């Protein structure tokens, strides 16, 4: 790989990181606090590119274009792979993890209830917004007494299974999309399945007795299902 | 990429290397411009999921890798061998545990540690000592221990067990290499050392190290994303009940999924069906050795070295985690 190509590879990666981190794109892959580290990395890589392109080419070394680097300037052939992430970001623009992964991870263990005392849901006239994962662990503790007979609203995307049931689903990440975990609640009383991966707000009540690990997995008896815009950050 | 095009350019042009750059630039431009037509062809769940996880690992690692490369360039360029020899104990046998504890001071992920280790070896630190630092740094730093405490609420002994087992692994591998690692370290001397680092400028070292590491990081990320996408976790759960098989399975999983050490505790905590010792094995093997690290180490230190170093580290990590788990958990 020549010196100029090396600069191009570094610059391309820097530009991709900047483009992702200055918009909302990075939220598809990593958690929110990564924004400024990514901006800084992109800026440093672009600066490095400028330096690599502008530094004087030593005359005696013009044969390989980099006498300053000495014989150690050669980079492994593997470095070509460094172009690939940027190409994939621009060409395929992989979306946030969605129904496909959630359906494959359906059998995974779910988030445990926090160790602290389980507080009741806040009092409210209308339905209370509850996270999907929280709804699941609340169903599992104290026989679901904290959500029984309460109107709740769950927001998430739609995933399905082979039996034709559909679920309101969320994916949580701790660090990056590689450690994603899915949680889902089956929606009953609404046979009209919304499009897979579309976002919905499901209002309804907990189906008594349904819980993670119980005979029937956690479910909600829906009174209304409203379409929603996908949030900028789809992960929890 | 076709080989003939640049070769022809060589024959015609006294500045032949420009040909390669132009080809790459034009190819990149063509890819970017054809995005609208390529996108529908690639719009497939399986490919998208792989792509998301692959890009996520690379994006997550890039700042850490750059940080590690900057630190290693500082060591290579500005830290004289004399200054370093004052910090590192003269006797390697003593240097190994000191390097293990020094790992507490580098709160980064494992990709940062590989270039730093390489620069330490370049600067004359005994390889066994530098490699101990490589193994300890991603596992015992405060950021990792805090995230472990958060992932295992009410189980502070897990944090202690992880710290001890990781430190024991790093120090044990260091001492094994001092005692019996002659063959291992000879290969390292042949393949990994870069005699020209001190001749380069600071930025020269940064670009050199970054280019060296990035390709191998990407290769590791590709493989880890493939495992993440194509192997369902439920396969893993089928062996949860068996003690020995459970431990080996989580060790293998830690190697192939290559999570960053700040987040692997959350994944480990979700393996509720496994014994605590098996979870500890997952937490100790992962930061010390995974497919991404193995790929980067093969790039930095040579394939011959990596082929011996990788199994040595994994076996030591399993033994250490099982021992500590049996004692504490």
Does residue B305 sit in the same domain as residue B226? yes
Residue A2 tokens read as 């020549």
What residues of chain A, 73 to 132, have a C-beta less than 8 Å from chain B? 73, 75-85, 87-97, 100-101, 104-105, 107-109, 112, 114-115
Q: How far apart are CA B15 and CA B9, in angstroms?
A: 9
Rg of chain A over Cα atoms, rounded to whole angstroms, equals 25
The pLDDT, as a whole number, for residue A64 is: 44
Torsions phi, psi of A155, nearest 5? -115, 135
Confidence of residue B194 (pLDDT cuts 50, 70, 90): low
Interface contact A201, partner B, CB < 8 A: no
Instruction: Give the mean pLDDT of B189-201.
Output: 61
Gap from A132 CA to chain B (nearest CA, Å):
17
Does residue B193 sit in the same domain as residue B318? yes
The pLDDT, as a whole number, for residue A109 is: 62
Does residue B21 sit in the same domain as residue B163? no
Does residue B92 sit in the same domain as residue B123? yes
CA A90 and chain centroid, separation = 18
CB contact under 8 A, A81 and B215: yes
Q: Is A119 exposed, middle or buried (0-12, 13-18, 19+ CB in 10 A)?
A: exposed
Instruction: Give the mean pLDDT of A186-213.
Output: 91
The pLDDT, as a whole number, for residue A176 is: 84
3-class SS of residue A77: helix
Interface contact A159, partner B, CB < 8 A: no
In B, minimum Cα distance to A71 occurs at: B196
In A, minimum Cα distance to B35 occurs at: A91
Beta-ladder partners of A152? A128, A204
Confidence of residue B14 (pLDDT cuts 50, 70, 90): very low
Instruction: Give the mean pLDDT of A127-140.
Output: 90
Interface contact A46, partner B, CB < 8 A: no
The pLDDT, as a whole number, for residue B16 is: 47
Given a cut of 90, whether residue A93 has pLDDT beyond it is no
Q: How far apart are CA B212 and CA B202, in angstroms?
A: 15
Does residue B276 sit in the same domain as residue B228? yes
More confident site: B214 or B9 = B214
The CA angle B292-B297-B303, to the nearest 5 degrees, is 115
Interface contact B269, partner A, CB < 8 A: yes
Does residue B106 sit in the same domain as residue B130? yes
Beta-sheet pairing, A181-188 with A152-160: unpaired
CB contact under 8 A, B59 and A100: no
What is the tens place of the pLDDT at every residue in B131-148? 999 999 888 888 888 888
Q: What percent of chain B has pLDDT over 90?
A: 24
Residue B245 tokens read as 């098989």
Helix axes B45-78, A3-22, angle to 10 degrees: 120
The pLDDT, as a whole number, for residue A195 is: 94
Report the residue of B62, B115, B199, B294 to disrupt the A interface, i.e. the one with the largest count of A CBs within 10 Å: B62
3-class SS of residue B32: helix
CB contact under 8 A, B263 and A175: yes
CB contact under 8 A, B66 and A45: yes
Measured from the Cβ of residue A200, the count of other Cβ atoms closer than 10 Å reads: 22
Does residue B16 sit in the same domain as residue B125? no
Number of domain units in chain B: 2
Q: What is the pTM of this model?
A: 0.81
Confidence of residue A17 (pLDDT cuts 50, 70, 90): very high
Does residue B19 sit in the same domain as residue B92? no
Confidence of residue B12 (pLDDT cuts 50, 70, 90): very low
Instruction: Give the mean pLDDT of B283-302.
Output: 89
Given a cut of 90, whether residue A170 has pLDDT beyond it is yes
CB contact under 8 A, A76 and B216: yes
Indicate the residue of A72, A77, A179 with minimum beta-carbon distance to B259: A179
The pLDDT, as a whole number, for residue A179 is: 82
Beta-sheet pairing, A152-160 with A128-129: parallel
Residue A131 tokens read as 């996270």
Residue B243 tokens read as 């003690």
Q: What percent of chain B has pLDDT over 70?
A: 86
Report the residue of B215, B266, B278, B303 to disrupt the A interface, i.e. the one with the largest count of A CBs within 10 Å: B215
Measured from the Cβ of residue B121, the count of other Cβ atoms closer than 10 Å reads: 23
Confidence of residue A104 (pLDDT cuts 50, 70, 90): confident
What is the tens place of the pLDDT at every residue in A108-124? 666 666 666 677 888 88
Does residue B195 sit in the same domain as residue B272? yes
Rg of chain B over Cα atoms, rounded to whole angstroms, equals 21
Q: Is B143 exposed, middle or buried (0-12, 13-18, 19+ CB in 10 A)?
A: middle
Given a cut of 90, whether residue A175 has pLDDT beyond it is no
Instruction: Give the mean pLDDT of A155-183.
Output: 89
Interface contact A177, partner B, CB < 8 A: yes
More confident site: B121 or B289 = B289
The pLDDT, as a whole number, for residue A69 is: 42
- Reported ipTM: the value is 0.89
Q: Which of A54, A53, A55, A50 is nearest to A68 (CA)?
A: A55
Q: What is the domain range of residue B111?
A: 44-328
CB contact under 8 A, B234 and A108: yes
Indicate the residue of B45, B63, B199 with minimum beta-carbon distance to A38: B63
Does residue B136 sit in the same domain as residue B228? yes
Instruction: Give the mean pLDDT of A40-69.
Output: 72
Last residue of a domain, one of B12, B27, B43: B43
- Please report residues of A whose CB lies closer than 8 A to that of B55: 29, 85, 88-89, 94
Does residue B252 sit in the same domain as residue B144? yes
Query: In the 8-state DSSP scheme, what is residue B27?
Result: H
Given a cut of 70, whether residue A20 has pLDDT beyond it is yes
Does residue B104 sit in the same domain as residue B22? no
Confidence of residue B176 (pLDDT cuts 50, 70, 90): very high
Sorted by sequence, the CB contacts under 8 Å of residue A65 that are 6+ apart come out as A2, A3, A4, A57, B17
What is the tens place of the pLDDT at every residue in B230-266? 777 667 777 777 888 889 989 998 998 888 787 788 7
- Please report residues of B whose CB lies closer than 8 A to that of A76: 212, 215-216, 299
The pLDDT, as a whole number, for residue A91 is: 82
Instruction: Give the mean pLDDT of B202-218.
Output: 87
What is the overall mean pLDDT for chain B? 82
Gap from B45 CA to chain A (nearest CA, Å):
6
What is the overall mean pLDDT for chain A? 85
The pLDDT, as a whole number, for residue B196 is: 65
Instruction: Give the mean pLDDT of A160-182.
Output: 88
Q: Residue ranges of the alpha helices (H) in chain B?
A: 4-12, 18-33, 35-42, 45-78, 81-87, 92-102, 110-122, 127-140, 142-151, 156-180, 182-191, 202-230, 233-237, 243-257, 264-269, 276-288, 291-301, 303-328
CB contact under 8 A, B35 and A90: yes
Q: How far apart are CA A188 and CA A185, in angstroms?
A: 10
Q: Structural domains in chain A?
A: 3-94 (no CATH), 101-228 (2.40.50)
Q: What is the 3-state secondary structure (H, E, C) of A96-133?
A: CCCHHHHHHCCCCCCCCCCCCCCCCCCCCCCCEECCHH
Please report where in the chains the tokens 């280790």 appear, as a residue: B117
Indicate the residue of A73, A100, A174 with minimum beta-carbon distance to B49: A100
Are the C-beta atoms of A66 and A3 separated by less than 8 Å? yes
Given a cut of 60, whether residue B3 has pLDDT beyond it is no
Gap from B271 CA to chain A (nearest CA, Å):
7
Report the residue of B13, B29, B59, B229 to disrupt the A interface, i.e. the one with the largest count of A CBs within 10 Å: B59
What is the tens place of the pLDDT at every residue in B33-78? 776 666 666 667 888 889 999 999 899 889 888 988 888 888 878 8
């Amino acid at each position: 790989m020549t010196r100029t190509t090396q600069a191009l590879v570094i610059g391309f990666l820097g530009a991709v990181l900047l483009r992702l981190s200055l918009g909302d794109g990075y939220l598809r892959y990593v958690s929110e606090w990564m924004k400024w580290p990514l901006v800084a990395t992109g800026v440093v890589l672009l600066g490095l590119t400028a330096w690599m392109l502008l530094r004087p080419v030593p005359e005696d070394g013009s044969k390989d274009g980099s006498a300053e680097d000495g014989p150690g300037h050669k980079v492994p052939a593997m470095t070509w792979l460094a172009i690939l992430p940027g190409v994939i970001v621009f060409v395929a623009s992989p979306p946030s993890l969605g129904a496909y992964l959630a359906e494959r991870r359906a059998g995974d263990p779910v988030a445990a209830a926090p160790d602290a005392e389980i507080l009741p849901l806040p009092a409210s006239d209308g339905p209370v917004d509850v996270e999907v994962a929280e709804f699941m662990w609340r169903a599992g503790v104290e026989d679901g007494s904290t959500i029984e007979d309460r109107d709740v609203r769950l927001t998430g995307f739609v995933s399905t299974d082979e039996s034709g049931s559909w679920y309101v689903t969320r994916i949580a990440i701790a660090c990056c999309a590689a450690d994603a975990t899915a949680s889902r609640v089956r929606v009953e009383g609404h046979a009209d399945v919304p499009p897979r991966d579309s976002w919905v707000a499901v209002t309804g009540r907990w189906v008594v007795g349904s819980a993670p690990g119980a005979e029937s997995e956690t479910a909600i008896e829906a009174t209304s299902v409203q379409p929603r815009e996908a949030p900028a950050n789809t992960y929890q | 990429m076709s080989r003939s095009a640049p070769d022809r350019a060589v024959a015609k042009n006294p500045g032949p290397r420009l040909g390669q750059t132009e080809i790459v630039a034009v190819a990149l431009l063509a890819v970017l411009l054809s995005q609208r037509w390529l996108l529908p062809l690639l719009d497939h769940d399986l490919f998208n999921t792989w792509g998301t996880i692959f890009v996520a690992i690379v994006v997550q690692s890039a700042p850490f890798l750059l940080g590690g490369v900057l630190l290693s360039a500082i060591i290579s360029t500005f830290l004289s061998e004399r200054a370093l020899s004052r910090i590192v104990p003269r006797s390697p046998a003593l240097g190994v545990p000191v390097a293990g504890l020094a790992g507490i001071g580098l709160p980064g992920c494992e990709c940062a540690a590989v270039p730093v280790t390489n620069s330490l070896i370049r600067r004359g630190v005994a390889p066994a000592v530098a490699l101990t630092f490589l193994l300890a740094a991603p596992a015992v730093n405060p950021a990792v221990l805090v995230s472990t405490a958060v992932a295992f609420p009410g189980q502070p002994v897990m944090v202690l067990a992880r710290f001890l087992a990781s430190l024991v692994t790093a120090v044990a591998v260091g001492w094994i290499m001092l005692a019996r690692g002659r063959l291992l370290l000879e290969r390292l001397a042949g393949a990994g050392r870069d005699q020209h680092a001190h001749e380069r400028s600071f930025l020269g070292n940064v670009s050199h190290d970054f280019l060296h590491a990035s390709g191998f990081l990407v290769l590791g990320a590709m493989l880890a994303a493939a495992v993440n996408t194509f192997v369902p976790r439920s396969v893993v759960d089928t062996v949860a009940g068996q003690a020995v098989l459970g431990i080996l399975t989580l060790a293998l999983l830690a190697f192939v999924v290559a999570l960053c050490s700040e987040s692997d505790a959350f994944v480990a905590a979700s393996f509720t069906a496994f014994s605590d010792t098996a979870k500890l094995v997952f937490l100790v093997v992962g930061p010390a050795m995974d497919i991404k690290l193995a790929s980067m180490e093969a790039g930095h230190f040579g394939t011959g070295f990596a082929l011996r170093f990788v199994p040595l580290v994994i076996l030591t990590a399993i033994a250490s985690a099982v021992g500590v788990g049996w004692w504490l958990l």
